[in-house]
Amino acid sequence: MVVLISGRGSNMQAMVEAGLPVAAVISNRADAAGLAYAAGRGIATSVVPHRDYATREAFDAALAQAIDAFSPALVALAGFMRILTEDFVLRYQGRMLNIHPSLLPAFTGLDTHARALAAGVKLHGCTVHFVTAQLDHGPIVMQAAVPVLAQDDEAALAARVLKQEHRIYPQAARWFLEGKLVIEGGVVRVKGDHPQQLYAP
């Protein structure tokens, strides 16, 4: 698998520590802290700086070339802060996953924790989903929910959710690599008896 990051890559680190076969880590930022972690683990790294390209299409073409050099079965977005073009998404359709810090379809896009607090929801969480051309709307693989506590601020809630991200993203990626994920009518099921929802009190 190839993992795309833009920063610290904590979900990438969780995958590596879970023993998943991460062949390469690619970033759009040369200063992404996760690159040093990957290199230290002997994992190939590459940088495709988005600012070097005049258009999203040109950047995505270069990114695809970097990814395809490793012939991955799975592409995993782990804090990759770029909106991808439809052509790029179609190129990896059915083999590209993302993790989003909310219980989709609630709170798509950015600032999910602040928006959850402002909305007064009592449960928040994270979602692993297949990537489609519509942002944060692909078929849901797995979710984890956490309670929203009265004393929570954005940082506290984000930390609680991130802990769950590190649990479910490696599991979802492993299911994919083991051929256990099936999409039927836009809904993902896992072959065998495996829970796709977790609740962390």
Ordered by where they begin, the domains of the chain are: 1-92 (3.40.50.170), 98-201 (3.40.50.170)
Percent of the chain with pLDDT over 70: 100
Instruction: Look at residue 13 and tell me whether its pLDDT is greater than 80.
Output: yes
User: Is 124 one of the catalytic residues?
Assistant: no
Tally of CB atoms within 10 A around 186: 11
Helix, strand, coil content of the chain in percent (nearest 5): 35, 25, 40
Active-site position among 50, 100, 137, 194:
100
Tally of CB atoms within 10 A around 138: 25
pTM across the whole model: 0.95
Structure tokens at 101: 């810090």
* Helix (H) / strand (E) containing 90: helix 86-91
Instruction: Look at residue 201 and tell me whether its pLDDT is greater than 80.
Output: no
Give the pLDDT of residue 193.
79
Instruction: Look at residue 166 and tell me whether its pLDDT is greater than 90.
Output: yes
Model confidence over 35-82: pLDDT tens digits?
999 999 999 999 999 999 999 999 999 999 999 999 999 999 999 999
Cα gap 99→135, rounded to integer Å: 12
Model confidence over 73-109: pLDDT tens digits?
999 999 999 989 999 999 999 999 999 999 999 999 9
Q: Which long-range contacts (CB under 8 A, 24 or more apart) does 173-178 make?
A: 173/1, 173/15, 173/20, 173/74, 173/76, 173/97, 174/18, 174/20, 175/141, 175/142, 176/73, 176/74, 176/95, 176/97, 176/141, 177/1, 177/20, 177/21, 177/73, 177/74
Tally of CB atoms within 10 A around 31: 10
Mean pLDDT of the chain: 96
Lowest mean pLDDT among 50-59, 110-119, 129-138, 163-172: 129-138
Distance between start and end Cα atoms, the chain: 32
Q: How confident is the model at residue 128 (pLDDT cuts 50, 70, 90)?
A: very high
Q: How confident is the model at residue 198 (pLDDT cuts 50, 70, 90)?
A: confident
Cα gap 167→173, rounded to integer Å: 11
**Residue 176 near residue 15, CB atoms below 8 Å:** no
Residue whose pair of structure tokens reads 């649990």 in the numeric block: 167
Tally of CB atoms within 10 A around 168: 23
